[in-house]
Structure 1
């Protein structure tokens, strides 16, 4: 549905040359929610703006729904963009226009008949739950309501692809949850492919099927969300994941325990999160388990849990306990906190 092939983007000024994208290749499949995460300056905003050619790549190829965007004339590009909706962090609403007109005006500019415009505006205001706000102005809306209007505006063009540029980063946690639920609903009910960029791992955790991690203009890791959580390879990816699993264990505690047995990090994926593995360890082996930290989060399709524990006991017993945990599907990593 969306394919970037060896895309690069360089910004040149009198004083410097900045490479925002460096040979980036990703493939977003039809109907999925694909996230791109990275810290500030990673290149993710440039990437998403290149998809609909708001930024023209310096090299490479961009294909959206079978159309090679990088080879289009200005007229053809305007036509192709009608199939790509976009929502922004700053909402981009007309302050002097009502909610209805913020959605209707872009439709008028594309030549859609008035009766159809009215039908679409009402339909997508209902989808985002703002039927009663049609005659309100942006100044009368909350941040979450403004973003819902922006989403309705993007949907009103009935695109196959929706781009989300940090759509929740300006919102409070409760409103963020509601917007993420709305994006999930849109993806499920309309089958719209969603490409989003974010610097919040919570967003990826809640709604994404796959994710790419960016750093210094490059994709450094990419895959299914559950695989990235359970098998992260790079330090940057691990930092993002660790933001959901704090391990601020006092050094005094670590020093007092490490001589009495190993400290290990356990990762529970899917059904293994519901198994009483630690209870079984204490029954089967002559060891004591001490939980130092832990949490379970719900990914889009399955739960993922992680905890750090200390196993106290003789070496042969703790090693046998570790082997047992691995045998029942728990991922085990020895850590030096």
Structure 2
């Protein structure tokens, strides 16, 4: 659907050149919700603006449905852009226009017939749950309602892709949850592909199928969301996951517990989260588990559980228990200062 091939973007100023993107390659598959996460300055916003060529790459290719945008004429590029709706953090609504007008005016500018404009505006206001607010002005709306208007405006062009630029960053947690549920519904029921950027791990957790982690203009890790949660490979990815699981234990306690066994992090994915794995290995081997911290969260399609456990026992018995836990579908990693490394 959307493909970035070896994208580099350099911003030139009188004082210096800044490389915002450095050889970035990414493929967003049709029908998926793809998240790009990173801290401020990672290059996320530049990347998403590259998807519809609001920013042009210094090097590399941007493809949409197999067609290279960077080689299109201005007319063909504008046609392609109409298939890509965009949602911004700041809503970008006309203060002097009603909700209806905020959605209708962009359609009018692209030549959509008046009758069809009315049908589309009402259709998408109903989808976002704001049909009764058609005659209200932005000043009369909450932040969440304003973002719903922005989503309806983007949908009214009947795009194949929604580009979401930190679409929930200005919202409170409850409103964020509602907007994410709406985006998930749009993806599921309308079949619209979504590419979103965020610095919030809960956004990725809630609705994304795949994710890429950015740092200093490069993609340092990418894959399925469940893989990022259960086996993050980079320090940045681990910090993002850790932001949802506050399972760091005091250093002094860690030193004491390691004298009588091993501290491990257990990740339970999908069906494995429903098995009494710890109870099973306790009966089978001479180990005594103590749960130091634990949490379970719902990813888009399956639950993910995480426990930090002290396995008391001899090295040989602990290793046997680890092997058995792994065979039961549990991902076992050695706990190390809030991070993890594989064991077994």
Normalising by the smaller structure, the TM-score range is over 0.9
- The 1-side partners of 2:191 and 2:65 are apart by 13
Match status 1:299 vs 2:299: yes
CA RMSD, Structure 1 to Structure 2 (Å): 1.1
Query: What's the CA shift string for 1:284-330, capped at 9, x where partnerless?
Result: 22222111111111111111111111011233322222221112111
1:133 CA drift (Å)? 0.4
How many residues align? The count is: 337
- The 2-side partners of 1:171 and 1:318 are apart by 46
- The 1-side partners of 2:148 and 2:67 are apart by 29
Alignment map for 1:245-324 (pairs within 5 Å): 245-324=245-324
Match status 1:121 vs 2:127: no
Partner of 1:235: 235
- The 2-side partners of 1:45 and 1:139 are apart by 27
- The 1-side partners of 2:323 and 2:86 are apart by 49
1:65 CA drift (Å)? 2.0
- The 1-side partners of 2:93 and 2:11 are apart by 28
- The 1-side partners of 2:78 and 2:17 are apart by 29
- The 2-side partners of 1:76 and 1:287 are apart by 67
- The 1-side partners of 2:336 and 2:117 are apart by 61
Partner of 2:9: 9
Consecutive unaligned residues in structure 1, runs of 5 or more:
none
Query: What's the CA shift string for 1:181-204, capped at 9, x where partnerless?
Result: 000100011111110001111111
Partner of 1:159: 159
- The 1-side partners of 2:15 and 2:316 are apart by 63
Consecutive unaligned residues in structure 2, runs of 5 or more:
338-344
- The 2-side partners of 1:316 and 1:113 are apart by 75
Partner of 2:342: none
1:66 CA drift (Å)? 2.9
TM-score by length of 2: 0.96
More off after superposition, 254-263 vs 280-289: 280-289
1:77 CA drift (Å)? 1.8
1:55 CA drift (Å)? 0.8
- The 1-side partners of 2:308 and 2:15 are apart by 49
Query: What's the CA shift string for 1:103-157, capped at 9, x where partnerless?
Result: 0000000111111000000000000000110011111111100000000000000
- SS of 2:246's equivalent? coil
More off after superposition, 119-128 vs 220-229: 220-229
- The 2-side partners of 1:311 and 1:294 are apart by 15
- The 1-side partners of 2:94 and 2:285 are apart by 67
- The 2-side partners of 1:203 and 1:299 are apart by 10
More off after superposition, 306-315 vs 179-188: 306-315
